[in-house]
Structure 1
Amino acid sequence: MLAVTCTSQSATDPLSGLEVGERPEPVAPDGWTTVRLRTAALNHHDVWSLRGVGLPADRLPMVLGCDGAGIDDEGREVVVHAVVASPDWAGDETLDPRRSLLSEVHDGTLAEVVTVPRRNVVAKPAGLSWEHAACLPTAWLTAYRMLFTNAGVQPGGTVLVQGAAGGVATALVQLGAAAGLRMWVTSRDEARGEQAVALGADRAFEAGARMPERVDAVMETVGAATWSHSVNSLRPGGTIVISGATSGDAPAKAELTKIYFKQLRVVGSTMGTRTELERLTRFVVDAGVEPLVDSVLPLTRAREGFERMVAGTVSGKVVFTV
């Protein structure tokens, strides 16, 4: 089968270990299903794997990819859930200390075929296109959990998204606007801020700008560079939901005094559950939300998508057709 594989790793030249070529087709063990993919999507997680972060070298070669949608071995149209829990785990799989994502322990979705536990597929709604289905399992599921499970914001509330262009940021804007939240974004790039407004954001601000009023919640994926701004932008009793730290995890100031004096909540958020993925797929169809797609490429041209992501020129999701 055709697959996109990490064969070696380099922190400075991640694409040197990227191989697009033939791999043996996987065989599903008991309790697993085979999904013949129609579409798959790219995530920063895939680039980090090529850099040697989160994927030990002794597991190479590894087929990359967390996002995918296709036909399972029962002929059903399905979306793949990327969080693989321990076989005996019950409850919220994101809390399983032994959980993994596809392409960390088990081969991922950037291939013609992937095998996953049977509980790791959800039905694809008929109104959801293959391209949009592939966008949902990682960035969009992360955004869904941040907003609707962990932020505690009600329709009419104001949410600040730090950053405007990445997959999680654009998903937050689109989901929040569709749910009746007033979404604000910050961006160092005026054009990307304007794009966020076109997607449904109420306003876009320069990075670090003083907000016209305090917000109910901040969606934080940037980390050290925006941490103080996030804390200072919150109303008393507000919530920061953090799911990443792309600029580093050691801010110059922890802002502990402001956090306890203003009684702020800081909530960690990682991916989402299978149940949340089911709800997400229904919500985007019922609300008429169309995930922002940066580009659609055949899997044979996967390297082009990786090059765009490494260069930092991606807005929304890069989708591969299989």
Structure 2
Amino acid sequence: MFAVYASEPNPTEPLKSLTVGERPEPEVADGWVSVDVAAASLNMHDLWTLRGVGIKPDQFPMILGCDGAGRLADGSEVVLYPVIGDAAVAGDETLDPKRSLLTEKYQGTFADTVVVPARNAVPKPAGLSMAQAAVMGTAWLTAYRMLFVKSGLRPGQTMLVQGASGGVATALVQLGRAAGMQVWATGRTDAKRAVAERLGADATFPSGARLPARVDAVFETVGEATWAHSMKSLKPGGAIVVSGSTSGPNPGADLQRLFFLQLRVIGATMGTRGELADLLAFVAQAGITPEIGLELPMEQAEEGFSAMLGGDTTGKIVFTR
């Protein structure tokens, strides 16, 4: 079958191990289902896989792609939940120490067919296209958990999204707007800030700019480059919710500010299958159109990977079959 895969780990030049070609048809184990992929979205995780991060060398070649949407054998349209873990662990698959994602141990979605546990095929709302549904499983699910499960924000409160042109950040802007938050966002360029405003941000600011007031919560995916600004932007008792560190993982903690103002730092990773189902229902009911910055045939995957590496797009990059 057709597939886009990592042929081997390449820490320094990841695109050199990106291969577009043929892979064997997958076998379907008991309790698993085969899904004909209609669309799949690109994540930074796919670049880490190409670099060999989080995957053992003997697991290559590995078909890339954590997210996707497609059809079961009976024609049912489904969205793929990418976390493969045991929900019996504290009622949350993301807390299972043995959990895995598609592309870490199991072959991914950038192919004609992907095989997943039956529970990982979640019914797709009729109001979402396949391309829109394909962005939900990682970036949008992460944003949903950050906002609705972890932050404690209520409608009317003010949230700040750092670096608001990426996949998780644009999802946060759109979800926050739909939920009645006052949404502020930062961006490095006028064009990136304009995207956040178009998606519903009430106000945007250059990265690191002094804000007109402090906020109830900051949503962080950037890390070292924005951390000091995030800490200074919070009201006493406010929260930083963190799901990534693209600029570096070791920010200065500013512990005096943390304890004196009783700030909270909260980590968030992905979400549960139940949260994905809730996210899909909310997006459909609210009439949200997820931001897709680039849509390409899967055969042109290298173009999409290059765009992600160069930071040339906003929102999500989607590959279609």
Instruction: Return the offset for 1:28.
Output: 1.2
Q: Which residue of 1 aligns with 2:267?
A: 268
Contact 1:8 1:17 in 2 (8 A): yes
Partners in 2 of 1:80 and 1:154 — Cα distance? 29
Contact 2:87 2:93 in 1 (8 A): no
Partners in 1 of 2:181 and 2:44 — Cα distance? 27
Q: Name structure 2 gaps, 5 residues minimum.
A: none
Q: How does 1:222-241 map to 2 (within 5 A)?
A: 222-241=222-241
Partners in 2 of 1:318 and 1:250 — Cα distance? 28
Q: Given the superposition, is the C-alpha separation of residues 250 and 87 from structure 1 closer, same or farther in structure 2, using an over 3 Å criterion?
A: closer
Instruction: Return the offset for 1:74.
Output: 3.8
1:180-222 Cα deviation digits (max 9, x unpaired): 1111111111210111001100111111111111100000111
Is 2:284 aligned against 1:281?
Answer: no
Normalised by the length of structure 2, the TM-score is 0.98
Instruction: Return the offset for 1:257.
Output: 1.0
Contact 2:187 2:207 in 1 (8 A): yes
Contact 1:40 1:68 in 2 (8 A): yes
* 2:68 alignment partner, SS class: strand
Instruction: Return the offset for 1:299.
Output: 1.0
Q: Which residue of 2 aligns with 1:62?
A: 62
Q: Which residue of 1 aligns with 2:214?
A: 214
Equivalent AA in structure 1 for residue 294 of structure 2: S
Instruction: Return the offset for 1:87.
Output: 8.4
Q: What value does the CA root-mean-square deviation take over the aligned residues? A: 1.2
Partners in 1 of 2:227 and 2:144 — Cα distance? 21
Q: Which residue of 2 aligns with 1:138?
A: 138
Equivalent AA in structure 1 for residue 177 of structure 2: A
Partners in 1 of 2:87 and 2:192 — Cα distance? 42
Q: How does 1:1-322 map to 2 (within 5 A)?
A: 1-86=1-86, 89=89, 91-251=91-251, 253-322=252-321
Q: Given the superposition, is the C-alpha separation of residues 18 and 127 from structure 1 closer, same or farther in structure 2, using an over 3 Å criterion?
A: same
1:9-63 Cα deviation digits (max 9, x unpaired): 2222111000011111101111111111111111111011112222222210000
Q: Given the superposition, is the C-alpha separation of residues 182 and 104 from structure 1 closer, same or farther in structure 2, using an over 3 Å criterion?
A: same
Instruction: Return the offset for 1:224.
Output: 1.1
Partners in 1 of 2:155 and 2:21 — Cα distance? 47
Partners in 1 of 2:275 and 2:283 — Cα distance? 12
Equivalent AA in structure 2 for residue 321 of structure 1: T
Contact 1:8 1:16 in 2 (8 A): no
1:223-254 Cα deviation digits (max 9, x unpaired): 11111111110001111100011111112x21
Q: Name structure 1 gaps, 5 residues minimum.
A: none
1:46-91 Cα deviation digits (max 9, x unpaired): 0111122222222100000011001123431100000110487561
Partners in 2 of 1:86 and 1:271 — Cα distance? 15
Contact 2:224 2:247 in 1 (8 A): yes
Q: Given the superposition, is the C-alpha separation of residues 116 and 162 from structure 1 closer, same or farther in structure 2, using an over 3 Å criterion?
A: same
* 2:249 alignment partner, SS class: coil
Aligned residue pairs total 321
**Farther-moved stretch of structure 1 (235-244 vs 186-195):** 186-195
Percent identity, aligned pairs only, is 57
Instruction: Return the offset for 1:179.
Output: 0.7
* 2:224 alignment partner, SS class: coil
Contact 2:236 2:261 in 1 (8 A): yes
Equivalent AA in structure 1 for residue 69 of structure 2: A
Partners in 2 of 1:102 and 1:169 — Cα distance? 22
1:142-180 Cα deviation digits (max 9, x unpaired): 000000000000000100011011100100001100111
